[in-house]
Amino acid sequence: MADVTRSEDHAGQKRTAKSAPKEMSAWSQLQTNRNWLGMWFMLPAGLFLILFLAYPLGLGVWLSFTDARLGRAGEFIGLENYAWLIGDFTEGWKFWEIGDPVFWLSVFNTLLYTVVASAIKFGIGLYLALLLNKHMPFKAIIRAVVLIPFIVPTVLSAIAFWWIFDTQFSILTWMLQEVGAIAEDYQVNWLGEPLMARASVIFANIWRGVPFIAITLLAGLQTVPPSLYEASVIDGATRWQMFRYITYPLLTPIIAVVMTFSVLFTFTDFQLIWVLTRGGPVNTTHLMATLSYQRAILGGNLGEGAAISTAMIPFLLAAIMFSWFGLQRRKWQHGEAND
């Protein structure tokens, strides 16, 4: 009897133990369940992302399908803004003729600006990083100095470049005149001619962007174990082989991240162009960001401006995808194959 009772008790206890979670109130579960707790902790960040990232992005995309103007909610007009900007391909295939030539010019300018500036920034940044990774006197001070262009507010540096590239007062022109590279009375038209203006704004962007790449790559370089270099020296590796087979592969993940950020920053650049040229001369330095601002905020055509901004998304997504696949290569470091 006692046994039976014990076993019943045991069974009862077992039942109780098993059913205990079922008896917890939903509120208690929300408070103690690990999955729910995880969600609670993520919620502030999630709300933050939705409020400040997803909502504006969604609103921007929505506006691009409307004829909204400043101060007035627009009506849904479908793809009309895009048809105007990109071109209605039922009318032909020459997009620069059927679309808005200024828009296509801004797309070309943006791609040119991004590709040229990013490539040069990477080259100089990597070179500087390798240089700064060496033992040299006043290393810390030199590293700090390299960061200066990045620290100076963009608008301030843009105003400095505004003077540097001024046709009449340019210090560059003066220097070229002093060293006899150009005639005394020759004024270089830095920002007044399309090709020169593009080169000038790209130069300013490079000057500003190099420190970010150099310092980040320098940080990456310092994670490379010196023992690998020592081993390669013993094996008789040349300096190029050391870079090619040790430094570069181990730096690849950092390069992927830093170049993605650099491409994103360059692609969406606004301040430099706005202060230096406002998109001129004749729209030859207009980037998609500056054209979007001009049309949406200055011109009042929110819908069209939003469409130009939205048209930037595919390019930005491509840059992010590049980063994604670049990051996967991290497994190289651990001797694993790529996904």
Partner 1 sequence: MSFTRRRFLGTSAMAGAMIAGGDLLGRSRAWAATEMKWTPEDGASLQLLRWKRFVQSEEDAFLKLVAAFTDATGVQVEVLNESLDDVQPKASVAANVGSGPDMFWGLYSLPHLFPEKCMDVSDVCDHIGSKYGGWAPSAETYGKSGDSWIAVPVAYNANLINYRKSAIEEAGFSEMPGDTEGFLELCKALQGIGKPAGMALGHASGDGNAWVHWALWSHGGYLVDENDQVIINSPETEAALNYAKALFDSWIPGTASWNDAFNNKAFLAEEVWLTNNGVSIYAAAKRQAGEDAKMAEIAEDMDHAFWPIGPSSTPAEFHICYPLLGMSYTPYPNAVKAFMQFMMEVENYEPWCEGAVAYLSHPYKAGDDFAFWDADPKLVAAKPAAWRTSTAGHLGSVGERAAAALADFIVLDMLANVCTGRQTPEGAMKLAERQAKRLYRA
Binding-site ranges for partner 1 (CB under 8 A) = 69-72, 84, 100-102, 165-169, 187, 189-194, 197, 277-284, 293-295, 297-302
Smaller CB separation from partner 1, 85 or 215: 85
Task: Give a three-class secondary structure readout of 154-208.
Answer: HHHHHHHHHHHCCCCCCHHHHHHHHCCCCCCCCCCCCCCCHHHHHHHHHHHHHHH
Query: Which tokens sit at 140?
Result: 């810390």
In angstroms, what is the minimal distance from the CB of 160 to partner 1? 15
Q: How far is the CB of 278 from partner 1 (least distance, A)?
A: 4
Cβ closer to partner 1: 216 or 301?
301
Q: Which is nearer to partner 1, 99 or 211 (CB)?
A: 99
- Closest CB to partner 1 among residues 76, 245: 76
Dist. CA 64–CA 304, nearest whole Å: 6
Nearer to partner 1, 149 or 280 (CB): 280
Report the alpha-carbon distance of residue 232 to residue 240 in Å, rounded.
Answer: 11
Least distance (Å) from partner 1 to the CB of residue 161? 12
Phi, psi of 69 (to 5 degrees): -120, 165
The smaller minimum CB distance to partner 1, of residues 9 and 75, is found at: 75
* CB of residue 126 to partner 1, shortest distance in Å: 33
Query: In the complex, what is the shortest distance from the CB of residue 298 to partner 1, in angstroms, rounded to a whole number?
Result: 4
CB-wise, 189 or 252, nearer to partner 1? 189
Instruction: Give least dist CB 296 to partner 1, A.
Output: 9
Decide whether 213 or 304 has the Cβ nearer to partner 1: 304
**Taking a C-beta distance cutoff of 8 angstroms, is the pair 259, 327 a contact?**
no
Question: Smallest distance from the beta carbon of 181 to partner 1, in angstroms?
Answer: 17
Query: Is there a contact between 213 and 260 (Cβ–Cβ < 8 Å)?
Result: no
> Measured between alpha carbons, how far is 265 from 270 in angstroms, rounded to an integer?
9
The CB-of-173 to partner 1 minimum distance in angstroms stands at 10
Query: Three-state DSSP class for 218?
Result: helix
Judge whether 125 and 220 are in contact, CB under 8 Å: no
Listed in sequence order, the residues at least 6 apart from 95 whose beta carbon sits closer than 8 Å to its beta carbon are 86, 87, 89, 104
How many whole angstroms separate alpha carbon 266 and alpha carbon 260? 10
What is d(CA 322, CA 128) in angstroms, rounded to the nearest whole number? 24
Straight-line distance from the first to the last Cα atom of the chain, in angstroms, rounded to the nearest whole number: 65
